[in-house]
Amino acid sequence: MNNINLTIDHIEVSVQPETTLLEAAKKLKIKIPTLCYHEDLCVAGNCRVCVVEQVGADRLLPSCATPVSEGMEILTNSLKVRNARKSVIDLLVSEHRADCTRCYKSEGCELQHLSSEYLIGEDSFIDLVPLKEYTIDYFSPSIIKDDSKCIRCQRCVRTCDQLQDIGALTVAYKGEEMKVSSFFEKPMYEVVCTNCGQCVNRCPTGALIERNYIDEVWTAINNPKKHLVVQTAPAVRVALGEALGMEAGLVVTGKMVAALRRLGFDSVLDTDFTADLTIIEEGNELLQRLKGALVDKNPDVNLPMTTSCSPGWIKYIEHMYPEMLPNVSTAKSPQQMFGALVKTYYANKIKVEPENIVSVSVMPCTAKKYEANRPEMHASGYKDVDLVLTTRELAKMIQQAGIDFEALENEEFDSFMGTSSGAAVIFGATGGVMEAALRTAYEVVTGREVPFDGLNITPVRGMEEVKEATIKIEDTLPEWSFLEGAELKTCVAHGLANAKKVMDKVRSGEASYHFIEVMACPGGCLGGGGQPIPTNAEIRAQRSKAIYEEDAGKPIRKSHDNPEVIKLYEEFLKEPLGHKSHELLHTSYVERNRY
Amino acid sequence: MSKKNLKRLDLIFKNENDGEVILVKTMARPTHDLINDLIISGLKGRGGAGYPTGLKWKLASEAEGDMKYVICNADEGEPGTFKDREILTQVPHKVLIGMAVCAKIIGAHEGYIYLRGEYKFLLPSLNEMIDDFHVLMNKIGFDFRVKIFLGSGAYICGEESALFESMEGYRGEPRNKPPYPTNSGYRKMPTVINNVETLAHTYSIFKYGPEKFKDLGVQDSRGSKVFSVSGDTPNPGIYELEFGMSVKKFVDDFGDGDAKAVQVGGASGFCVPRKKFDKTKIGYQGKLTGVSLPTGGSMMIFNSSRSMYNVLHNYLDFFVEESCGQCTPCRVGTQQLLLGIEAVKKGERSSEYLDRLLGLAENMRVTAKCGLGQSVANSFSSIVENFKEEMIY
Ligand SMILES: Cc1cc2nc3c(=O)[nH]c(=O)nc-3n(C[C@H](O)[C@H](O)[C@H](O)COP(=O)(O)O)c2cc1C
Ligand code: SF4
Ligand code: SF4
Ligand code: SF4
Ligand code: SF4
Ligand code: FES
């Protein structure tokens, strides 16, 4: 199709049909303010802050929602536009509990930014806040929803609906009472919300934020009786820099470790270690299930097996597909395996009483906060993980401590439980767990490395919504001969909307897989709900690139080669899926309501 | 007391039993002839926006889609308006035949009547009518079925795109335009949506030819129009009158002798003060008529005992509640206008604040997402500007 020609602020531009005015302006590096618009979501066109003037037209046009047409003359900064925009911002502020100095979102708030850019002053409209009742929902361990800070842009609603296909958040009422709500206005804690935090990542204001545990962590750090152990998830190290002013896609592992020591953590350890451990447990569970199904013909064995490291996914399946819970691997997530080991094996090793250990994790994820609070997660006899911080909270602590992050010298994780393989690193990207598991399982079965160049199982990499890969198993070791010639069918989905597609196919019998990886968040953990804001496809691609670079550069690439994991089995666990593993590293699930 | 200066017309409500004949005759004609007739007649939508009906059908006939739909908008939510109810009670077959012809022209096989929830009592008679209509469709061998969709009661669901959302099972929130319904309407398919009265008029046009319709009214506003007359009038009710009359003539006919203002087009319409009665004509905005367009055809007369502050207050109360709430200018703007006039009245804000509010209303007009928010300025500005003292003292 022919390009469309138009002018924006008197500059000519030629773009594809269907391009929006906002996109066309972006091409000319003209910035039009937006609030309800988000690159990851369908267009809503409800905030009206992005309006522009078309010469000759009476009404203004929402640039995010208006496609270009031939010969348009667009003005983005005329007096009419400025007045209208200012009026819109002014109105939003008038119904907003604008207490920025006490607001958690103060630093990254889009409304505050626009309000200051447009010099919204004292002589504003009537303050509507005292005239209304607002609800603040503090009940969830993961997310706080504060309606008094909500600008009704519905980004959260679209996120939960479009990316996650859950619809935990909806719009209720109309007119002055219109608000973002949940099923029967129940607290988020009681509804189908998976705590994934994707809505938090996209909320432009402080209306949806993570529940932060920063002060609790500082208090613990400053308690001389406590030994502070911290673990950091794979996706944190490729994104933390963003929250501290660095560009996207930088691996900052060494600086992060240094910063954690400076903050006062006594043991700075790595969740990647238990990511490797997860692979051993989960990989063996898969092989055991395959054997049960293929050799023993045991009807109680459930295939396909799905991964279990994403707590958003776990809560989702508990709500939406409870009949398929037996298909979920019983292996705990790396965070919780770590927590269980810290207060048992590790405590013993460093000769500290478990009750004196405070186990902190830094996660790209808000659902991990919920996971740590699940009643099942007391395998050590204590709360296995005491406090969970997001990447954003860690960045905040680093700022509070006055650390010049970029200037830090790289440091190494402590040992024991600080060593990991490249397979663990890629847990942070969609397809990573699958790739890590295949690297190990294939080798266990055949005694040879997976037949992919440089161990890079590219079919499961990338941002495609659903990825499928079939691995043919040949020349097995004698004890695995029942798998000779078998085709291992795998599937990878990220974002719960995609997971739903896969699960529906599995349930209806349309698709048959052996192993399915699901991550609740788009792009996997690197796009998690606790990661730096903003997020978009480009930023996620940068983080992903960083992850695979880190993997490629690791001396150890396969989980079963991790010397610390090998030692852990020798000294403590004895064997995969053994007695100790079951006690500490595996868990069970519960059925939940569907609203 | 009515002086009956104005000619009462009987185009719409005349009960004609020649539906089948007209339908067969019309269906036999080439579609472009039919579209031409509609365009020549000058018929414009009676639901508010006044879009030329012939052009709308033409666009939908040219649009591509796996399915196409004809929808009759019978949501009639404007307070004080009940003309569509009357049409559906007295001459529903005209509406159905209009829909059938439209279906043939655009290539639709499914039609819906989106019926205001409060009109549920019409269901038995309408369904009976539709059954007969289906028999007729079978008889003439045209594959077209009509169903009734009962509305949920929100005023905004009368707005066409919100109506589609509501029919699709979503919350009734207006969509962005473009795309327009003729390209992407119900289920994102090409759709003609017309007001009840518009469809009934097409029947007369196909029956009598476009000229007879065109002879009525004035340039830009052709034909007759059904008005719901209310307020300070000895003769409230439904009247079919010729387009293009001046407000003065109307008031002479329907007023109680003491009219100080007429609200043309209900809450989203304009307030015409006595001094402008003469100059203002009833019709779509155009070169000849100059001012005003009736939405649902509501004409409300206020005599000198009325407080225009209260009138405006009522309208704003209505908007504050009936805004769907999705877009900023309308959701918050309506509240600010309401609280603003209260604050001025109470003396909490100076009278200059009214100018600020007029500016806000204008900004709402140019930025709001749909007709509701865009038209709040109509009543607000015309009342505040013409009755400023009543706002302050
Ligand atoms: C807030 C709002 C409410 C509306 N309500 C109605 C209604 O009740 N009935 C109606 O026919 N049109 C209503 N409309 C106009 C419709 O959107 C649409 O323009 C009309 O149905 C088109 O039909 P017409 O071309 O025959 O007028 C409303 C518009 C707005 C903005
Ligand atoms: S959400 Fe934004 S504008 Fe509102 S109080 Fe917080 S920082 Fe300020
Ligand atoms: S946290 Fe996730 S599941 Fe919960 S409301 Fe937000 S997007 Fe939906
Ligand atoms: S909670 Fe946040 S994202 Fe959701 S509507 Fe309110 S401001 Fe927008
Ligand atoms: S103008 Fe009002 S009714 Fe229309 S979309 Fe906006 S908020 Fe909803
Ligand atoms: S950003 Fe365009 S309307 Fe909100």
Q: What is the CATH number of the domain that holds A198?
A: 3.30.70.20
CB B391 within 8 A of CB B344: yes
Same domain, B172 and B281: no
Same domain, B277 and B318: no
Q: Please indicate, yes or no, if residue A193 is contained in any of the structural domains.
A: yes
Q: Using CA atoms, how far apart are residues A521 and A367, in angstroms rounded to an integer?
A: 10
Tell me the three state secondary structure of residue B21: helix
Mean pLDDT across the stretch B336-364? 97
Mean pLDDT across the stretch B169-193? 97
Q: Using CA atoms, how far apart are residues A220 and A230, in angstroms rounded to an integer?
A: 12
Same domain, B204 and B297: no
Taking phi over 0 as left and psi of -120 to 50 as alpha, with beta for the rest, B159 belongs to beta
Q: Using CA atoms, how far apart are residues A413 and A569, in angstroms rounded to an integer?
A: 21
Alpha helices, DSSP H, located in A184-304: 198-202, 214-221, 240-243, 253-263, 271-294
Q: Which residues line ligand 5 (CB under 6 A)?
A: B 156, 174, 323-327, 330-331, 368-370, 372-373
Which H or E run includes B111?
strand B110-115
Q: Which residues line ligand 3 (CB under 6 A)?
A: A 143, 159-160, 164, 166, 168-169, 193-199
Q: Using CA atoms, how far apart are residues A330 and A334, in angstroms rounded to an integer?
A: 12
Q: Please indicate, yes or no, if residue B262 is contained in any of the structural domains.
A: yes
CB pairs under 8 A between A and B: 116
Q: Please indicate, yes or no, if residue A356 is contained in any of the structural domains.
A: yes
CATH number at A352 reads: 3.40.50.1780
pLDDT in tens, A257-300: 999 999 999 999 999 999 999 999 999 999 999 999 988 889 89
Q: Which residues on neighbouring strands pair with residue B272, listed in sequence order? A: B262
CATH number at B270 reads: 3.10.20.600
Q: Please indicate, yes or no, if residue A571 is contained in any of the structural domains.
A: yes
Question: Any CB–CB contact under 8 A between A130 and chain B?
Answer: no
Which H or E run includes A171?
strand A170-172
Q: Please indicate, yes or no, if residue A89 is contained in any of the structural domains.
A: no
Of B257, B287, B303, which marks where a domain is finished? B303
CATH number at B379 reads: 1.20.1440.230
CB B364 within 8 A of CB B375: no
CATH number at B98 reads: 3.40.50.11540
- Tally of domains within chain B: 3
Question: Any CB–CB contact under 8 A between B41 and chain A?
Answer: no
Q: How confident is the model at residue A496 (pLDDT cuts 50, 70, 90)?
A: very high
Cα-Cα-Cα-Cα dihedral sign, residues B9, B12, B13, B16: positive
State the pLDDT at residue B284.
Answer: 81
Whether B290 has a pLDDT exceeding 60, the answer reads no
Whether B343 has a pLDDT exceeding 70, the answer reads yes
pLDDT in tens, A529-543: 999 999 999 999 999
Same domain, B185 and B203: yes
3-state helix, strand, coil in chain B (%, to 5): 50, 15, 35
Instruction: Tell me the pairing of strands A357-363 and A387-390.
Output: parallel
Q: Using CA atoms, how far apart are residues B37 and B50, in angstroms rounded to an integer?
A: 17
Of A54, A50, A93, the C-alpha closest to A74 is: A54
Same domain, B284 and B314: no
Of A541, A532, A542, A547, the C-alpha closest to A244 is: A532
Same domain, B103 and B206: yes
State the pLDDT at residue B48.
Answer: 82
Of the listed ranges A349-358, B154-163, B291-300, the least confidently predicted one is B291-300
Q: Using CA atoms, how far apart are residues A428 and B264, in angstroms rounded to an integer?
A: 63
Using alpha carbons only, how large is chain B's radius of gyration in Å? 21
Q: Using CA atoms, how far apart are residues B113 and B75, in angstroms rounded to an integer?
A: 9
- What the block records as the tokens of A104 is 């958690």
CB A85 within 8 A of CB A33: yes
Q: Please indicate, yes or no, if residue A100 is contained in any of the structural domains.
A: no
Residues on chain B touching A152 (C-beta within 8 angstroms): 325-326, 328, 331
* Cβ contacts of B331 within 8 Å, gap of 6 or more: A95, A152, A175, A176, A178, B323, B325
Of A356, A375, A407, which marks where a domain is finished? A407
Mean pLDDT across the stretch A168-178? 96
Q: Which atom of ligand 6 is nearest to the CA of A33?
A: 1
Q: Please indicate, yes or no, if residue B66 is contained in any of the structural domains.
A: yes
Backbone angles phi, psi at A51, to 5 degrees: -65, 145
Of B303, B321, B341, which marks where a domain is finished? B303
Tell me the three state secondary structure of residue A583: helix
State the pLDDT at residue B1.
Answer: 45
Backbone angles phi, psi at A57, to 5 degrees: -100, 145
State the pLDDT at residue A536.
Answer: 97
Cβ–Cβ of B329/A171 closer than 8 Å?
no
Same domain, B313 and B295: no
Q: Please indicate, yes or no, if residue B124 is contained in any of the structural domains.
A: yes
Same domain, B335 and B375: yes
Can you give the residue range of the structural domain that contains A379?
214-273+335-407
Q: How confident is the model at residue B80 (pLDDT cuts 50, 70, 90)?
A: confident
Instruction: Tell me the pairing of strands A227-232 and A357-363.
Output: parallel
Whether B177 has a pLDDT exceeding 90, the answer reads yes
Q: Please indicate, yes or no, if residue B256 is contained in any of the structural domains.
A: yes
Of the listed ranges A327-331, A335-339, B281-285, the least confidently predicted one is B281-285
Same domain, A134 and A188: yes
CATH number at A36 reads: 3.10.20.740
Same domain, B45 and B136: yes
> How high is the mean pLDDT of chain A?
96
Q: Please indicate, yes or no, if residue A108 is contained in any of the structural domains.
A: no
The DSSP secondary-structure symbol of B120 reads G
Same domain, A132 and A168: yes
Instruction: Please give the C-alpha separations between residue B336 and each of A90, A132, B320, B324, in angstroms, as whole numbers.
Output: 11, 14, 9, 16
Q: Using CA atoms, how far apart are residues B332 and A180, in angstroms rounded to an integer?
A: 15
Of the listed ranges B205-209, B297-301, B385-389, the least confidently predicted one is B297-301
Q: Please indicate, yes or no, if residue A22 is contained in any of the structural domains.
A: yes
Other residues' Cβ atoms within 10 Å of the Cβ of residue A17: 12
CB A188 within 8 A of CB A180: no
Q: Please indicate, yes or no, if residue A591 is contained in any of the structural domains.
A: no
Mean pLDDT across the stretch B86-91? 96
Mean pLDDT across the stretch A218-242? 98
Same domain, A308 and A354: no
Q: How confident is the model at residue B295 (pLDDT cuts 50, 70, 90)?
A: low
Q: Using CA atoms, how far apart are residues B36 and B58, in angstroms rounded to an integer?
A: 9
Q: Using CA atoms, how far apart are residues B331 and A175, in angstroms rounded to an integer?
A: 6
Of A243, A236, A274, the C-alpha closest to A257 is: A236
> For this structure, is A371 an active site residue?
yes
Q: Please indicate, yes or no, if residue B14 is contained in any of the structural domains.
A: no
Same domain, A283 and A260: no
Same domain, A66 and A166: no
The DSSP secondary-structure symbol of B270 reads E
Distance A136 CA to ligand 4 centre (A): 13
- What the block records as the tokens of A292 is 């049960």
- What the block records as the tokens of B12 is 């719409």
Same domain, A309 and A247: no
Cβ–Cβ of A58/B368 closer than 8 Å?
no
State the pLDDT at residue A505.
Answer: 97
pLDDT in tens, A398-432: 999 999 999 999 999 999 899 999 999 999 999 99
Q: Is the CB of A47 under 6 A from ligand 6?
A: yes
CATH number at A579 reads: 3.40.950.10
Whether B291 has a pLDDT exceeding 60, the answer reads no
Mean pLDDT across the stretch B128-136? 97
Same domain, A431 and A570: yes
Q: Is the CB of A93 under 6 A from ligand 2?
A: no
Same domain, A264 and A396: yes
Q: Using CA atoms, how far apart are residues A362 and A396, in angstroms rounded to an integer?
A: 12
Can you give the residue range of the structural domain that contains B296?
217-303
**Cis omega (within 30 of 0) for bond into A187:** no
Whether B17 has a pLDDT exceeding 90, the answer reads no
Query: Quick one: A244 exposed, middle or buried, by C-beta within 10 A (0-12, 13-18, 19+)?
Result: buried
Mutate to test the pocket of ligand 1, among B71, B86, B150, B160 (most ligand atoms within 8 A of CB): B160
Same domain, A57 and A188: no
Of A283, A327, A290, A336, the C-alpha closest to A309 is: A336
Residues on chain B touching A59 (C-beta within 8 angstroms): 365-367, 374
- Tally of domains within chain A: 4
Q: Is the CB of A61 under 6 A from ligand 4?
A: no
Of A210, A235, A261, which marks where a domain is finished? A210
Same domain, B350 and B208: no
Mutation site for B-interface testing, chosen from A69, A88, A123, A173 by largest number of B Cβ within 10 Å: A88
Using alpha carbons only, how large is chain A's radius of gyration in Å? 25
Q: Using CA atoms, how far apart are residues A19 and A496, in angstroms rounded to an integer?
A: 28
Same domain, A206 and A223: no
Whether B333 has a pLDDT exceeding 50, the answer reads yes
Of B170, B189, B214, which marks where a domain is finished? B214
Mean pLDDT across the stretch A309-321? 98
Q: What is the ipTM of this complex?
A: 0.94
Of A58, A77, A96, which marks where a domain is finished? A77
- Using alpha carbons only, give the angle A461, A467, A470 rounded to the nearest 5 degrees: 95
* Cβ contacts of A322 within 8 Å, gap of 6 or more: A591, A592
Of A250, A242, A271, the C-alpha closest to A398 is: A242
CB B39 within 8 A of CB B289: no
Same domain, A554 and A507: yes
Same domain, A67 and A181: no
Whether B182 has a pLDDT exceeding 50, the answer reads yes
Other residues' Cβ atoms within 10 Å of the Cβ of residue B234: 10
CB A166 within 8 A of CB A194: yes
CB B15 within 8 A of CB B262: no
Q: How confident is the model at residue B4 (pLDDT cuts 50, 70, 90)?
A: low
Q: Using CA atoms, how far apart are residues A494 and A517, in angstroms rounded to an integer?
A: 8
State the pLDDT at residue A121.
Answer: 87
The pTM is what?
0.96
Mean pLDDT across the stretch A442-467? 94
Residues on chain B touching A43 (C-beta within 8 angstroms): 176
State the pLDDT at residue B288.
Answer: 46
Same domain, B171 and B42: yes
The DSSP secondary-structure symbol of A586 reads B
Mean pLDDT across the stretch B356-383? 97
Length reported for chain A: 595
Cβ–Cβ of A48/B327 closer than 8 Å?
yes
State the pLDDT at residue A73.
Answer: 98
Same domain, B229 and B105: no
DSSP A285-343: HHHHHHHHHHTS--TT---SEE----HHHHHHHHHH-GGGGGGB--BPPHHHHHHHHII
